[in-house]
Amino acid sequence: MNVNEGLSLSGNATPTQPSPIKGEGFRKRKMADLHFELVTPEKLLRSEEVQMVVVPGTEGDFGVMAGHAPYMSTMRDGELAIYRIFPGEPERIQVQGGFAEVSEKGLVVLAESAGD
């Protein structure tokens, strides 16, 4: 019998645990909440707890979850993807320009304009 027989080589999987990379055994589960605010010059559009937000940064899209390191980025025109449950289908909101700031308090997106 080969010593590697039955082992998955992806991730840290063991013979008794399927690889989560392939989606086997991966369930939707409650993760830590991220406080998210979406603000335009006119008003505060959102202030809520979510699982993850994907932001259209000028250097590329980036995802933010609870516990993310402090970070600040300018944003390009695009869409925010807001995940209330991850993995799951996100709510998408178009944004034009602005800034995104991640701090220990959460994520604040200051958009020049935003629409549902």
15 plus 40 within the same structural domain: no
* Separation of alpha carbons 17 and 94, rounded Å: 40
57 plus 40 within the same structural domain: yes
Comparing CA positions, the residue from 44, 46, 11 lying closest to residue 25 is 11
37 plus 54 within the same structural domain: yes
Can you give the residue range of the structural domain that contains 68?
A: 31-115
Q: Which residues make beta-bridge pairs with 113?
A: 96
- Angle (CA) 116-89-48 rounded to 5° is 55
User: Which tens digits make up the pLDDT trace of 8-64?
Assistant: 444 444 444 444 444 444 445 556 799 999 999 999 999 999 999 999 999 999 999
111 plus 91 within the same structural domain: yes
Give yes or no for residue 96 having a pLDDT over 50.
Answer: yes
- State how many domains the chain has: 2
User: Which tens digits make up the pLDDT trace of 61-70?
Assistant: 999 999 999 9
Say if residues 66 and 46 touch (Cβ distance below 8 Å).
no
20 plus 49 within the same structural domain: no
